Structure 1
Amino acid sequence: MWLEAAVLVLVLVQTVAIVVLWQQSRRLQQAVANRPVESNNVPSLLIVNALNKIEHRLGVLEERAAPSAKPVQRAVETQMTASMRSASPQLSGSNYELAQHLAREGGDVEQLMERCGLSRNEAELVLRLYARRA
C-alpha cells in the first residue's frame, strides 16, 4: 500500500515537473522570438567578412582569366557579327558600325532599334557584345 502511494506521488511530481518545464520552454521561445535583433551581432559580421573575401578572390580569378578570355571573346564577336549581317539583309555595314558605336557610348535598346533599324533581339545582342562594362 505504501509502495503504491509512493509511486503515485512520484508520478504526480514528475507530471507537474514536465508541465512546468514545458511552460518555461514556451515562455523562453516567445521571449527569444520577441527579442529585438541586435545590429552588432557577430555572426552577421563574420558572414559579411567571408563574402568580402570571396568577392576579392573572384576578382583576382577574373583578372587572371581575362587575358586568356579576350581572344575567345573576339572570335565570338566576329562570328556573331557575320551571322547578324547575313540574317539581317537590311542592316548595312554603316548601320552596324553605328549600332556598335551607340552601344559603346551607352545607347539603349530603343535607340539602337530606331536609329539602326535593328530588331529588339539584334539590339540586345549588340549591347551585350559592345556595351562598356562597369
Structure 2
Amino acid sequence: MWLEISVAALVLLQTVTICLLWLQGRRVKRGFADKKGEAGNVPSLMIVNALNKIEHRLSVLEERTQKPQVQARLTEASVAPMTASRSVSHHLSASNYELAQHLAREGCDAEQLIERCGLSRNEAELVLRLYAKRA
C-alpha cells in the first residue's frame, strides 16, 4: 500500500513539474517574440537617426571622390583635341623607340631610323646620340 501511494505521489509530482516547465517554456517564447519586435531594445528612432547619419557620410564621400574625377574629365576634354595626334603617335611609338634603340646599337644612321621607325629627324638624332656605338 505504501508503495502504491508513493508511486501515485511521484506521478503527481512529475505531472506538476511537466506542467510548470511547459508554462515556463511559453513565457520564454513570448519574451523572445517581444524582444524581436523591439529590435534588441533599441528604439526605432535611434536606428533611423543612425541610418540617416550614415547615408549623409556616404553622400559626402561620394561627392569627394567624384569631384576629382569630374575635374580630370574636364581637363582631359579640354586638352584632348590638342594632344590627340601626339598621344596616338606616342602610344604607338613606344615599340618604335625600342626598335630605334636596337637599330642604333647595330649602327644604323638617322635616315634609316626615320624610315623604319617613323621618327622625326630630331628624335632619330637623339636616339643615335644616346644608343649608338661609340668608336
TM-score, with length taken from structure 1 = 0.36
TM-score, with length taken from structure 2 = 0.36
Q: Whose helix fraction is larger, Structure 1's or Structure 2's?
A: 2
Q: Which has the larger radius of gyration?
A: 2
